[in-house]
Structure 1
Amino acid sequence: MQLQIVPARTGWHWIGQGVKTFFRQPLGLAGLFFLFMMLASLVSVLPVIGLPIVLTLMPSCTLGLMAATREVDAGRFPMPVTLFTALRGPREQVRRMLLLGGAYAVAVAAILLVVSLLGGDIAGPLATGDDIQPEDLQAALMQRGSALLLTLLLYTPVSMAFWHAPALVHWNGVSPPKAVFFSLTACWANRWAMLVYVGGWALVLAVVGNLLIGVVAMLGGAQVLQVLLLPLSLLMAAIFHTSIYFTYRDSFSAD
């Protein structure tokens, strides 16, 4: 396994490959993503243990969606069992994936703890039930914005560290600590391509959002927005997850 340095324009290529591949098998890939979201929603409602379980299984589910993309890229239909690819291998490999998921859960929990300690109560005066003064509302909104910015700053290195890690553990046989290190190194080495990739997706979402607003304005009202917003958001999220596989494929090559 060798790290490949790609030009910045590759970020647009990753987006294009994700869109192109998704629409080769839209029902299969969308169905797997919806299955993933449904399972995550069902598990997350469990008291106390729900969210930790979801976070621990997140790298495994990400690998499952990447495996589904690889199946479509190879001309095959992604079966539902593909979502559980990471948990169907040898016992040692499954153990490594769960260790990686545990590390991810701990990292996210640490971020939430830091934000809660430094950002304070995001709801602030909104949760008191008293009459809210304009200055209180403004302060609450500023506090919430600061907390969101802090979360983004803290989560960015965590996202880089775990971006390629599931694929490296499952397909390359790398141990979780090394996978996290190699993932962080690869994202930093290809930071310009990753910035174009993230910025490109932000641009795509902005364009789609504006188109949605235009459609709502023509068809008339908030009811149309409520009908279209959720399925369109899930569709865009499914296409985004389809593109993740190509960021891994082009960042590493067989030795």
Structure 2
Amino acid sequence: MEKLPARVGWHWIKQGWALFRKQPGGMMALLFVCMFASLIIMLLPVLGQILWALLMPMFTIALLQGCAEIDQGRRALPQFLLAGLQSPMRKHLLGMGLLNLLLMLLAMLAIYGISGEAMEGLRTAQARGSIKPEDVEGLFGGMLAGSAIYMVGWLLTSMTAPLIFWQKMAFSKALFFSVVSVLRAIRPLVSAVLILHLFYFFGIQIIVLVLGVSQLSVAGIFTLFLISLVLVHCMLYAAYAQIFGPPQTPPSAPATVDLDKQ
């Protein structure tokens, strides 16, 4: 696999946008189904957030499968939410979920380790009913470190779930190929992520500039956030399709496991 130049990231975004434009309603409906399921899971007492972290690869697969359907001229349907759970590779996808949970815990440890005192101070300020600027100053370092840990981990493992689902690889093998492929395509992937972040940031500024600080602007920012989530997955599908080739197995075909890849 040859190393790809940074400009390829922009092409992935354009390809992802083209996929989204073909069926914006279908992709947004699929995202809403995933978000509704996430909300129901997180409302479960005690284990809700842990279960949500474990099932995140299933939501990723749902959106990526929607992209694959659009790419192959079919419709993105809400029932793709169950594609990962119905796959014979679901135990390997849950292994990816366990890794995702570990990344979240590491990010939280970084936040508490660096900004623990600032968080305690913020709780005290909330209790007394007044929050001053100095109460939140110490949070920046911890939030930055935690976000960096999770983003780097997410980027390196971003190809793992689709490799498990589409190429029927075991978790360990898929993780290895994900890390290797991401490192070789690190420049376009990083450039694509940065461009999408800039798109979201400047989109917020434009919405606030046009609509001001109002309920309508909040609704506009939330809509932009949802579109950005879909575009991240569309871009990720475009990157996967170029690096590993587009998935060929139709969803209606019975899934089989290649034991040679286990």
Q: Same fold (TM over 0.5)?
A: yes
- The reply to whether residue 192 of structure 1 matches residue 187 of structure 2 is yes
Shift of 1:9: 0.9
Q: Taking structure 1 as reference, are residues 186 and 172 closer, same or farther at Cα in structure 2, changes over 3 Å only?
A: same
* 8 A Cα contact 2:6 2:191, kept in partner: yes
Shift of 1:133: 8.1
One-letter code aligned to 2:61: L
Q: TM-score, normalising length from structure 1? A: 0.87
* 8 A Cα contact 1:65 1:241, kept in partner: yes
* 8 A Cα contact 2:113 2:142, kept in partner: no
- The reply to whether residue 28 of structure 1 matches residue 23 of structure 2 is no
Determine what percentage of the aligned residue pairs are the same residue: 24
Shift of 1:42: 1.4
Q: Taking structure 1 as reference, are residues 162 and 122 closer, same or farther at Cα in structure 2, changes over 3 Å only?
A: farther
- The reply to whether residue 234 of structure 1 matches residue 226 of structure 2 is yes
Query: Runs of 5+ in structure 1 lacking a partner?
Result: none
SS in 2 for 1:120: helix
SS in 2 for 1:157: helix
Matches within 5 A, 1:1-255: 3=1, 5-90=3-88, 93-128=89-124, 129-130=127-128, 137-138=133-134, 140-217=135-212, 221-253=213-245
Larger RCO of the pair (alpha carbons < 8 Å, separation 6+): 1
Question: RMSD over aligned Cα, in angstroms?
Answer: 2.0
Q: Taking structure 1 as reference, are residues 133 and 63 closer, same or farther at Cα in structure 2, changes over 3 Å only?
A: closer
For the residues of structure 1 that align with 2:215 and 2:244, how far apart are their CA atoms?
Answer: 46
Shift of 1:34: 1.0
* 8 A Cα contact 1:6 1:250, kept in partner: no
- The CA deviation string for residues 19-76 of structure 1, in whole angstroms up to 9 with x for no partner, is 1111100110000011111110111111211011111111121011101001001111
* 8 A Cα contact 1:66 1:241, kept in partner: yes
For the residues of structure 1 that align with 2:203 and 2:99, how far apart are their CA atoms?
Answer: 35
* 8 A Cα contact 1:125 1:132, kept in partner: no
- The CA deviation string for residues 158-208 of structure 1, in whole angstroms up to 9 with x for no partner, is 112320000111111222122122212211111111121012112211332
Query: Runs of 5+ in structure 2 lacking a partner?
Result: 247-262
For the residues of structure 2 that align with 1:106 and 1:203, how far apart are their CA atoms?
Answer: 28
* 8 A Cα contact 2:84 2:90, kept in partner: yes
Shift of 1:122: 4.6
Q: Taking structure 1 as reference, are residues 130 and 18 closer, same or farther at Cα in structure 2, changes over 3 Å only?
A: same
Shift of 1:229: 2.4
Alignment partner, residue 254 of structure 2: none
Shift of 1:131: 7.1
For the residues of structure 1 that align with 2:123 and 2:196, how far apart are their CA atoms?
Answer: 34
For the residues of structure 2 that align with 1:53 and 1:236, how far apart are their CA atoms?
Answer: 24
* 8 A Cα contact 1:157 1:184, kept in partner: no
After TM superposition, the structure 1 stretch with the greater mean CA deviation from structure 2, 125-134 or 15-24, is 125-134
One-letter code aligned to 1:34: F
For the residues of structure 2 that align with 1:191 and 1:133, how far apart are their CA atoms?
Answer: 41
